[in-house]
Amino acid sequence: MKKILFLLFVFTFTISCAMFRPSGRSSEELKAKIQELLKEHPELVLDVIRQNKVAVYKIAQQGAQADHENQRQTRWEAELKNPYKPVIDPARPALGYSKAPIVIVSYSDFLCDYCKVGAETVEELLKKYPKKLRLVFKHHTYNEFSKRVSLYFEAIGRQSAIQAWKFHDMVFENQELVDQKKEKALKDITRSLKINRAKLAEDLKSSKLSKLIEKDIKEADKFGFDGTPVFLVNGVAIHGAVPMEDFEKVIKMVEKK
């Protein structure tokens, strides 16, 4: 509503200035004339808006985007002062430099399209800043089969972090096929990995690993995350599959701190 009122004022002011500029009236006089004109002929503003629908729509979009950016920047600054504090278990599979000053914790769902995009972006970040970043993968899903995929990741990680991340990449690369063929697709993927399949079958039955996934979900819920993916950059939250530039903005903020 505020944006609409602002647009009305802009168009009205433009009309009024065009009408009254030759007389050299003061801004107060112009204001009075604008108010008078609005009262007498409100249809003028509507006519201008109707004649400039595309321009009005673009201005509204720009205003909404600017407002979103301001709110996000404010939130980031607040979280920088009071960051989220996820539990990080060094025994779980992690990717990147072990002594990296910045840790990205990902709350993801293997069958989420946006999570696939987000994973690709973070992978590029790790390549760009190999000594600066480390990635920890956590699970945030309520779909039972997605939990099954997560269980495979954790079970493979018990044998080899490298193989777990290969599984991670292959599932995202073949996301649609995995969603269609379910368990068969997961078994096909594991056949290409250098792991002990008997041990994998045993670990897939582990209640400890199932509880680990549930803890990830509860942690994300506790933080108030209601969608995927979410990435915590040293405790500052990035929501959604955003461009690399957004990650770099937060990284710079964290480094300055």
Give the chain's domains with CATH numbers: 2-69 (no CATH), 94-256 (3.40.30.10)
Q: What is the pLDDT of residue 31?
A: 76
What is the band of 30 on the pLDDT scale with cuts at 50, 70, 90?
confident
Rg value, the chain, Cα: 26
The beta-strand segments (E) located in the chain are: 94-96, 102-108, 133-139, 230-233, 236-239
For 44, the token pair is: 């003028």
Instruction: Tell me the C-alpha distance between 5 and 2, whole Å.
Output: 5
Q: What is the pLDDT of residue 43?
A: 73
pLDDT tens figures, 177-211: 999 999 999 999 999 999 999 999 999 999 999 99
Q: Which residue matches tokens 């480094």? A: 255
Q: Is 39 exposed, middle or buried (0-12, 13-18, 19+ CB in 10 A)?
A: exposed
Share of the chain above pLDDT 70, in %: 82
pLDDT tens figures, 221-250: 999 999 999 999 999 999 999 999 999 999
pLDDT of 1 strictly over 70: no
Residue 141: count other Cβ atoms within 10 Å of its Cβ.
Answer: 23
Query: What mean pLDDT, rounded, does the chain reach?
Result: 87
Q: Which residues are CB-neighbours of 160 under 8 A, at least 6 positions away? A: 194, 195
pLDDT of 76 strictly over 80: yes
Q: How many Cα neighbours within 13 Å face the side chain of 205?
A: 5
Q: What is the pLDDT of residue 56?
A: 58
DSSP, collapsed to helix, strand or coil, labels residue 26 as: coil
Q: How many Cα neighbours within 13 Å face the side chain of 3?
A: 12
Q: Which residues are CB-neighbours of 44 under 8 A, at least 6 positions away? A: 12, 15, 37
pLDDT of 11 strictly over 60: no
Q: Cα separations (Å) of 91 from 88, 98, 117, 161?
A: 9, 12, 26, 9
Residues 78-104 have a mean pLDDT of 96
- Contact between 103 and 67 under an 8 Å Cβ cutoff? The reply is no
The torsion region of residue 9 among left (phi > 0), alpha (psi -120 to 50) and beta comes to alpha
For 241, the token pair is: 């599959």
Share of the chain above pLDDT 90, in %: 71
